[in-house]
Structure 1
Amino acid sequence: MRVSSSLGLGVVCTVSALALGAFGAALYLAPATPPALADPTAVKTVPVATVPFADERPVELQLTFNAPVQITSPVDGVVTAFRCTPNGALDSSSSSLSIDGMPLLTIATPTPLWRDISPGDTGADVQGVQDFLNGRGGELTADGTAGLRTIAELVRLARAAGQPDPSTTTVQRAALLWIPYEGAPVSKCSAALGQAVAAGTEVATVAGGLRGADVDLRGQELLPGAREISVSGESFPLDEDSRIRDPEALSRIVGTPAYRDALADGASSLNVTMSLVEPVEAASVPPSALVNVGPGTGCIVAADHSAVAVEILGSKLGQTLVRAINGELPGEVDVRPGDDVTCG
C-alpha cells in the first residue's frame, strides 16, 4: 500500500514542531548558573566558617641525660653466653648474660639491687622489683615490702629466662643482671664469650636515663594556653616553662621509636610537633577579605559594612584563620572590601 507524500510531510512537520517546543521549554526551565560556577567577580560576601585551631608547629625537643651506667656481673665465673650489641639493648625480663652456664635474669629497676631480698624486707629496691614485676603481668601491691607473692612472681620470670632451679625463698642478687631502665641503649659491650669475670666486673655500659626534655621557644610568638608535643604519635604535656620533668612522661618518651632512632644516631634532640592542648575557635576567611594587614593583625568587613579588627592566627587550605580582637566575628564577610576600610 502506498502512503501519500502529503501525509508523510505532515508527520515530519508535526514531529519537528514538537521537538522545537520541547527545546524551547528546556531553555525556559533551565536552572540558573550554580554558585560554584558563577563569575567570582559577582560574589560579594561569603559565610564565615569556624574551625578549631591548635597552632601546630614543628619544634626541636632538646634531651638531657644522666651519666652513662656501668653494668656489672653479679658473680664470679666464665661468660658462657652474652647477647650484647652496641646501640642495641639488654633484654629485660629475659637473659642477656650467662655465667658458668647459668642464665641471669635481666631486671630493670631505678635503684640498683645491692642485696638478697627476703620476705619482710623493705626499701626502694624492693619497690623497684615490684614495679618491674607488675609491668610483666604481676598484680602486686608495690608498697616496698617484699612478700611471698613478690618472690613467686620473680621465680616465674626466672624460670621463663632459663634458670632451672631459682630460689623460691629469696630474691637472689647473684641470679640477676641489673640495668637502670627499660630499653637502655648499649654504648659498649665489655665482656666477651669465654672471658673469666669477677663479681663487680664491668660487662657493658648503657646510656644514662633521660633526665629531662626542653622545647626552646625563644623568639616565637605563641597564643596563651597549655601546650603539648607529639612524639611518634604519642602526646606529652609541657609544663609552664616548656619542659618535661615528669618521670612517667620521660619513661614513655624513652619507649618511642623516634627516641630510639635518635640515640642510635647519637643525636641529643628530636624534631617534634607542638600544639595547644585545648584548640581555640578560629574563623576561616578568604585571604582577599583581609585589609589593613599588619604584623599579626588585620581587618575584615561584615555584610552590614561594619569593620572588625582581627588577629591573624595562620592559614590552612588556602584560607586565612583569624579571630576577633574585640567582640564577635560576623556571620558573613565581604570578600572585596576595598582599601578604604578603617578598623576601630
Structure 2
Amino acid sequence: MDIAVSVGAPQGVSVSRSGIITAWSCRPGESIESGKSAVTLDGVPLVSLSTSVPLWRDLSVGDDGADVSALEAELARLGYAVDGNGTLSYRDLAAFSKLASSVGADVKDVVPRDAVVWLPAAAVEVDKCEIGLGSNVSAGQLLASVSADVEVAPVALPEGRIPGPRLLNAFGEPLALGDAGELPTDLPAGLVRKSPLFREAVGGSDNVTSVTLKGTAVLATPVQVAAVPATAVQVLDNGNGCVFTDTSPYAVKIVGSEFGNSFVLFADATPPTSVLSSVPKEHQECG
C-alpha cells in the first residue's frame, strides 16, 4: 500500500542572547529534545523547548496570548501542572521554574525568552553542528541545522478487509494503525527519516517536499485462511461465497486471490478438510 509522507523545510536551532558556549551536546545524527538542555551559555544552561509559537518576549504573571498558550501546552505535555487558560499564572511560572531547575537553571520571577532554545518539534535530529564548544555566539546565531519534520498521512485500508487491528510494516518496527488507517500521534519523525524506505526515496536531497513509500498492513493477530481453487467458490455478494463438499455447502469470506487460487475464511468454526474443486451443478445454498 502507498504511504504518503510530507517533508517540511529544513530547520535551525539558535539562541536568543549572546555569550560563550561552555557546554554543547551537539552530535550529527543524535537528537535534541524538548524539556532538556543541549547548550550552556556563560555557565547558564538553556532550556530546549518546543512550542507551537516561539517565545518572542519575556513572560510575566498576567501576560496572555498565543505564546502563553503554547508554553502551557508544552509544559503540560512534559508532565508539569499548569492552569492552561492562556494567561500566565503563578502556577504556570512555578511549572517553568521547575523545568528550568531540572536542567540546572534558576528562573523565578519571569519566563525569560533568552533562557529558552526554541525547537520546531519535540525532538529534532541534528544534521550539522554549526558552532563548537567555546564559540562566542550572538543573539539569533545558528547553533545547529536539524532535519526537516515529516508527517505521515493515514493509509488507505482495503474495502472488505478482515476485521481486526492492524500493524503497518514500513519503518523498521510495526506501528499500530487506527480503524481508519491513522498512524500513532506520537510517531517519532526520526523513526521515519532513518528508515531505509525514506532514505532511498529522498536520495539525499534537501528539496524534497513529499514522497510516497510502499508498506504492508498486517493483522495484529493472524487468522487462518484456506487456499482453494477459484473454481471451487460460488461467489455471492459483498465478498461472501460458498464452497462445497460431497455432502454440504460451507459459507466463506473471500479475502484474496492469487495464481488461480482464492483465499477464504470459513464461517464455520470447524472447516472441512477438503472441498470440491468446482461448484456442483446442483447444490444446496449456503445457510
Deviation at 1:292? Answer: 5.6
Deviation at 1:111, TM superposition (A): 1.6
Contact persistence 1:303–1:334 (CA under 8 A): no
Q: Residues 71-110 of structure 1: matches in 2 within 5 Å?
A: 71-110=13-52
Residues 184, 297 of structure 1: alpha-carbon distance in 2 compared, 3 angstrom cutoff: same
Q: In the alignment, residue 237 of structure 1 is paired with which amino acid?
A: G
Letter paired with 1:301: F
The aligned counterpart of 1:177 is 117
Match of 1:223 in 2: 160
CA distance in 1, matches of 2:29, 2:96: 28
CA distance in 1, matches of 2:218, 2:85: 37
The structure richer in helix per residue is 1
Q: For residue 95 of structure 1, give the secondary structure of its aligned residue in structure 2.
A: coil
**Amino acid aligned to 2:145:** T
The aligned counterpart of 2:188 is 254
Superposition TM-score, scaled by structure 1 size: 0.62
The structure having more radius of gyration, on CA atoms, is 1
Task: Tell me the SS of whatever aligns to 2:194.
Answer: helix
The residue matched to 2:92 in structure 1 has which SS? helix
Distance (whole Å) between structure 1 residues aligned to residue 188 and residue 142 of structure 2: 24
Give runs of aligned pairs for residues 272-287 of structure 1, distance below 5 A. 272-275=215-218, 284=225, 287=228
Aligned partner of 2:93 in structure 1 is 151
In the TM superposition, residue 230 of structure 1 has moved relative to its aligned partner by: 3.6
Separation (CA, whole Å) in 2 of partners of 1:238 and 1:64:
22
Is 1:300 the counterpart of 2:243 in the alignment?
yes
Corresponding pairs, count: 262
Instruction: Give the TM-score normalised by structure 2.
Output: 0.72
Distance in 1 (alpha carbons) for counterparts of 2:64 and 2:165 = 40
Match of residue 114 from structure 1: 56
In structure 1, C-alpha distance between the alignment counterparts of 2:198 and 2:132, rounded to whole Å = 25
1:122–1:229: structure 2 CA closer, same or farther, 3 Å change rule?
farther
Letter in 1 for 2:79: G
Does residue 198 (structure 1) correspond to residue 138 (structure 2)? The answer is yes
Superposed CA deviations along residues 57-95 of structure 1, whole A, max 9, x for unmatched, are: xx4533212212221111011122111111211132221
The gaps in structure 2 that reach 5 residues or longer are 203-211
Residues 75 and 340 of structure 1: is their aligned pair in 2 closer, same or farther, counting only changes over 3 Å?
closer
Aligned equivalents of 2:36 and 2:64: distance in 1?
Answer: 25
Q: CA deviation at 1:190?
A: 0.9
2:103 and 2:273 map into 1 onto residues whose CA distance is 72
Identify which of 64, 71, 74 aligns with 1:129: 71
Please state whether the residue corresponding to 1:106 is helix, strand or coil. strand
Aligned to 2:177: 236
- Show the counterpart of 1:66: 8
- In the TM superposition, residue 120 of structure 1 has moved relative to its aligned partner by 1.6
Give me the identity figure in percent: 26
- Offset at residue 149 of structure 1 (A): 0.9
Hey, what does 1:208 align to over in structure 2? 148
Judge conservation of contact 1:86–1:187 (CA < 8 Å) in 2: yes
